[in-house]
Amino acid sequence: MEWNEIVAKKIHSILNIPVEAGKSGKVARRFSGLVFAKSGSVVYRLDGEEYISDGTNIVYLPVADYTYEPTADGICPQINFECDFDKHEFLTFPVSDIGIYEEKFEKLRRMFYDENGSHSHHACFAVLYDILTSLDRESGASEFGEYSKAAIEIMRSEFSSPELSNDMIASRLNISTVYFRKLFLKEVGISPMTYLRKMRMEKAKEYLKLPSMSVGETAYAVGYSGIYPFSRVFKKEVGISPCRYASKYKNSY
């Protein structure tokens, strides 16, 4: 990714956009943008290619005409801005901790819409460039080789399988488990199972907000054999129990 080539000129809006599964649409985008899924997920399509925005990916939105299709209900934070960047194509890659970007986004949103005017546009640009710098820093690990890319795709499509493991993924890639773990850690910055755990927790947060999903159903949906092991991991990763999280956020959008 070439995040270091993005030179922002003007910030137009910082939005929390609600998305609803099945409600697709078309966009004739006039400005560049950055988007990720605080919850839910969206598939963008341009020139026959698909790009996924979810709890594990940051996506650059180009100045182009494209279609989008939400595949799960949720909220998608979006920053719209003018920039000097001549690529009219989507850029996307996984990030190690989407929570870092959620915090930066909220900081920028509050500053940009500060009614008291206590924050200058320079301060807003500083936060935007902090986001871009973080992306640029991660891009060194995000230029993944074929094995890491393939492993992430396996995790994304099969995260609900309790049997998913280092051994299984390495076997599917036809490489040794030791080599797979070392390669993934070097390229991505975290171990494969840590990456999978974070992915599962982001998916769990999406499910727990749905009226139709119980904690038990969520546990099985994200690859855990029961409520108790899932609850232990969720509380450790998110900071509160899945029951409290569901009570706090269910129907929040």
- Domains annotated for the chain, with CATH where assigned, are 7-142 (2.60.120.280), 146-249 (1.10.10.60)
Query: Distance between CA atoms of 199 and 193, rounded to whole angstroms?
Result: 10
**What does each of the 253 residues of the chain score in pLDDT, given as a tens digit?**
456 667 788 899 999 999 888 888 999 999 999 998 888 888 898 888 888 888 888 889 999 999 999 988 888 999 999 987 767 788 877 787 788 888 899 999 988 888 666 557 788 888 998 888 888 776 654 456 788 889 988 998 899 999 999 999 999 999 999 999 998 888 877 889 998 998 899 889 888 888 888 999 999 999 999 999 999 999 988 888 999 988 887 754 4
